[in-house]
Amino acid sequence: MFVIGVDFGTDSVRAVLVDARTGEEVASGVHEYPRWKTGAYCNPARSQFRQHPLDYLEGLEKSIRETLSQVSPEMIAGIKGISVDTTGSTPGPVDENGTPLALLPEFADNPNGMFILWKDHTGNREAEEINQLAHRWDTDFTKYVGGIYSSEWFWAKILRTLRVDEAVRKSAFSWIEHCDWISAVLTGNTNPLTLKRSRTAAGHKALWHEEFQGLPSQEFLTALDPLLAGLRNRLFAQTYTSDEPMGTISAEWAEKLGVPADVVIGVGSFDAHMGAVGANIEPYALVKVIGTSTCDMLMAPSEDVGHLLIRGICGQVDGSIVPGMLGMEAGQSAFGDLYAWFGRLILEPIAGLLNQQGKADEIAALQTALIPYLSEQASQLPVSETDVIAIDWLNGRRTPDANHTLKGAISGLNLGSSSAHVFKALVEATAYGARRIAERFVEEGVPIRQVIAIGGVARKSAFVMQTLADVMNVPINVAESDQCCARGAAVCAAVAAGIYPTFAEAQRAMASAFDAVFTPRPERAKVYDVLYQRYLSLGDFIEKNT
């Protein structure tokens, strides 16, 4: 028996075919989003990041087709389930049929009719208004998301779009998260009133909670802005965990993908949450999903920590990672993105000069080699208490205590500071941000007994991971799988399809092993204790003077 996990990342979609009995990754396929790759519909200076639903649909078909082209017809005939994870919060406006507006001719090139990517911060003002109203309302609807609502999330993005685009406002019947829509597409039922919505997306990003009988009250939403009047009834009241089936694949998509007609489609979720499942998360293990940004996953029995309201995180939601456990989320808005920014800063003028000389091949070679080269140079530098210090908030701060108006900084430069010194400081800054998140959980009464890392940065950069272990002063286990999020989606598919009755049994058979461990170096950890205090002081100065 086989299952397919599909992971929609920021830049591409990846599919993996997994043997549900052994956990072997049999085949995989990757498709980069062509429109996104050109920068279409995005404006980084305004923190606007949009993705066209055609990138998703094309990527879904091509990644799975590529995967299945590598295996026998007998294996394909044995496929029992497909589950999908996506970035989030990545909502988009849909009509009454659940069709994203960007798929309609009149909105085909309108960024406001597309999916609003997780890192879009155009709704900073709206997020602040949500916080102000929630904190004086009879019920604080932010209390289960750390007490602070973020512009990266569902309601801020919706409200911002309704305010700035009258045409979208008139045509958007409802709104839907990417993970819900793409899973629903596979079943053929995209009706926004009847498709199953992800507990993960709803609880962590849309303020859904059983205590509130679902979403925030219509009275609250209308008080926030009359443009939201009536929307609650066009969204959802119930949510579903990822062990639930969304439905059976439609005849159209079974034919498109070349899979059996009885394949079960699981309820979707977010990449980090399914990634934690793929990394064999267990209670009190912190799973760090490290890529362009980070998401930190932690879960614990509700009877142990359910009474806590953990400040400044991205939510605590029953069943958001594994059914029956309280799932907790935190993270950093820029991690690998920070390194990529520095790489662009160095290469842009060089690339411009080489481009004038027609040396495109040299530009591509430099882009590939730069970050590994900087990592090697930075790894050779000593660590001292007077080193350059950086703040990792170039894309704002996600946790602890979301504030996406904050900016990054570099302090302590002199004429002897090299690119390697600055790169080292940026890597250390991301590690300091990670340490602050872990400390917040512990301060709030949630212990951390193990740290696991997955994702592209975790797999590719020993320098970053060793620095992270030194700064956090804990061993960090790295998952073996290069596709842990897709593998986690496959685990979820196996449960949704009834191959395994519980996540625990499916994880024992299918989750990734570890193939590396980074152990802190005591002499460096001691110096980093001092540098970390400087990081906190500089961050406090920036926050008070922004």
Report the C-alpha gap between 94 and 224 in whole angstroms: 22
Give the pLDDT score at 358.
80
Q: What is the pLDDT of residue 364?
A: 86
Average confidence (pLDDT) over 184-189: 98
- 96: helix, strand or coil: coil
- Token pair belonging to 59: 């990527």
Q: What is the model's pLDDT at position 246? A: 98
Tell me the pLDDT tens digit for each residue of 387-426: 999 999 999 999 999 998 999 999 999 999 999 999 999 9
Question: 1-91+177-186+243-545: CATH homologous superfamily?
Answer: ATPase, nucleotide binding domain (3.30.420.40)
Q: Judge whether residue 546 has pLDDT over 90.
A: no
Contact of 510 with 487, CB cutoff 8 Å: yes
- pLDDT tens digits, one per residue of 485-510: 999 999 999 999 999 999 999 999 99
Give domain limits for the chain: 1-91+177-186+243-545
Average pLDDT over residues 195-215: 98
Cα(337)–Cα(9) distance, rounded to whole angstroms?
14
pLDDT tens for each residue of 260-302: 999 999 999 999 999 999 999 999 999 999 988 999 999 999 9
342-394 pLDDT per residue, tens: 999 999 999 888 888 888 788 889 989 999 999 999 999 999 999 999 999 99
Strands 514-518, 476-479: pairing is: antiparallel
Share of the chain above pLDDT 90, in %: 95
Q: What is the mean pLDDT of residues 103-121?
A: 97
Per-residue burial over 355-385, b = 16 or more CB atoms within 10 Å of its CB, e = otherwise: eeeeeeeebeebeeebbeebbebbbeeebee
- Quote the pLDDT of residue 356: 83
pLDDT tens-digit profile of 13-39? Answer: 999 999 999 999 999 999 999 999 999
Question: Which residues lie closer than 8 Å to 422 by C-beta, 6 or more apart?
Answer: 342, 388, 390, 410, 413
Q: Rounded to whole angstroms, how far apart are CA atoms 293 and 225?
A: 31
The confidence score (pLDDT) of residue 426 equals 98
- pLDDT tens-place string over residues 435-473: 999 999 999 999 999 999 999 899 999 999 999 999 999
- What is the DSSP code (8-state) at residue 381? S
User: Cα(491)–Cα(509) distance, rounded to whole angstroms?
Assistant: 9
Each residue's pLDDT tens digit, 74-95 = 999 999 999 999 999 999 999 9
Cα-based distances in Å from 355 to 340, 347, 359, 360, 370: 20, 11, 6, 6, 17
Say how far apart CA 388 and CA 396 lie, in whole Å.
Answer: 20
> Closest Cα partner for 438 from 472, 465, 391?
472
- What is the overall mean pLDDT for the chain? 96
pLDDT score at 361: 82
Distance between the two ends of the chain, CA-based, in angstroms? 56
Orientation of helix 522-544 relative to helix 462-472, angle to 10°: 80
The candidate with the shortest Cα–Cα distance to 429, out of 328, 344, 333, 345, is 333
Which of 114, 126, 178, 203 is CA-nearest to residue 157?
Answer: 126
For residue 430, count CB atoms less than 10 angstroms from its CB and return exposed for 0-12, middle for 13-18, buried for 19 or more. Answer: buried
Question: According to the model, what pLDDT value does residue 5 have?
Answer: 98
